[in-house]
Amino acid sequence: MSCIQPNGDILDIPVNATVFNFGRNGIRGTTILKNGKIVQMAGIAGILQGVGDAGKALAQTTTPTALGPSQSINSDKIGLNLLGGATESVGSKLADYYIKLAELYHPIVEVNPGAIVNIVFLEGFPLDPLLADEYETRMNEQREQVSNSNQLLDVITNASSFPPTTQTAPINPLAQKITQQGLSRVGFGREESP
């Protein structure tokens, strides 16, 4: 949030808040995705990659051998192979770059000018510039802790990182009770040996 102090100084401070419009959470608006040109450039780079791949394929001859197919470059088409390889490599790198760039963009919600909204602050914040720096540092530390705890949860919930268990019998209170009473367990129509 940005506030202008009486002396003309501007205070920018992160706040924890939500916005309501007519009693509903959020604001009604038009969603606009501004990464169309980037996606278009990724498509053009993909076409460039395909043209390069086709050029390389035209300059090569594939012959079947006992050890599998063997590819050789025709000496009169070595320039086409070189140009095709370079074009394919550049097209691949450009396509990857534009796709990663497009993933960074998020949709923008356009709100009609003059829209009346209610802001609900979920947590208090200081308006004093000296306290605001302290508050902002504390907020950043809290975000860092949340980030670290999310990473820890990812490690904890990743089952592949745990060693395999050697437990053969399922943990089932009813089965344990039956076993304790001396009754034999029957598994799908056949007797199991104790």
Q: How is 39-78 classified by DSSP, letter by letter?
A: HHHHHHHHHHHHHHHHHHHHTEEEEEETTEEEEEE-GGGH
Query: 191 near 184, Cβ under 8 Å?
Result: yes
Q: What is the pLDDT of residues 92-131, one digit of tens each?
A: 999 999 888 888 877 787 888 888 888 888 888 888 878 8
* CA distances from residue 23 to 20, 29, 118 in whole angstroms, order as listed: 6, 15, 8
Rounded to the nearest 10 degrees, what angle do helices 78-104 and 36-58 cross at?
160
- Rounded CA separation 148/19 (Å): 28
Could you state, in order of their start, the residue ranges of all structural domains in the chain? 1-21+116-151, 28-114
Query: 69 near 62, Cβ under 8 Å?
Result: yes
Query: 56 near 85, Cβ under 8 Å?
Result: yes
Q: What is the pLDDT of residues 148-192, one digit of tens each?
A: 666 666 666 654 544 555 555 456 666 667 667 766 555 544 555
Read off φ and ψ for residue 11, nearest 5 degrees: -110, 115
